[in-house]
Amino acid sequence: MTWTKTKASVAMAVCAASVLIALGTLLLTSKQIAILRAENQKLQAEIAEGRQSAAEPPASALALTPELDRLKHDAAEVLRLRGEVASLRRDRSDLAKLTEENARLRQRLLAAANETKEDAERLTPEQEAAKQVGIAKLNFTRDWLAAFRAYAAWRRMGSMKTPKRLQPLIDEGLNEPVKVRPITTNRAVGIDG
């Protein structure tokens, strides 16, 4: 029986030790839970405080807001000016190209004008003869037209008197060639001057 008692007392001791260990663990765990809850509440209070402070900017941040706005404006201005400088550089390059092209075209125009003037001044003998024949025909036609107009004017007056402005033409006998002047308007060539 002693062995049974010993077994029973060992079993009781093991049970008592298990209960004590369980109680100790329970007490230790409950203390840790209490500590963790207190820490959790403290952290939640800090988070709430942080959210409140994040919603309200600090006074130093309020003081920096105009400076920050000015810096943002300056940065935007720098970017705008860089774009403008790039545009002006392109324009300057285009201007140089256009200036060169303009000079080239002026040279070509002067060369063409000189060539045209030389061509106009240089007439072949056949062209010169045709020009003289054309001038003679124009003079002859002008003389006849002047005579017809003088006759028509004379007939309108109903008298045999020749109009005074036509008398010099009749006196010359219409034999002297009249110089042809260029027509500057759309009206017909007149005899008055």
Written as one string, the DSSP assignment of 13-33 is: HHHHHHHHHHHHHHHHHHHHH
pLDDT attached to residue 58: 60
Q: Between 156 and 129, name the one with better pLDDT.
A: 129
Q: What is the pTM of this model?
A: 0.29
- Could you report the per-residue pLDDT of 107-128, keeping only the tens digit for each? 998 888 887 766 666 778 888 8
- Could you report the per-residue pLDDT of 23-77, keeping only the tens digit for each? 888 888 888 899 999 999 999 998 888 888 777 766 666 667 888 888 899 999 9
Tell me how far apart the alpha carbons of residues 164 and 151 are, in angstroms, rounded to a whole number: 13
pLDDT attached to residue 168: 66
Tell me how far apart the alpha carbons of residues 50 and 171 are, in angstroms, rounded to a whole number: 124
pLDDT attached to residue 120: 62
Two tokens, residue 13:
């001791």
How many CB atoms lie under 10 A from the CB of residue 177? 13
- Could you report the per-residue pLDDT of 152-173, keeping only the tens digit for each? 776 766 555 566 666 666 666 5
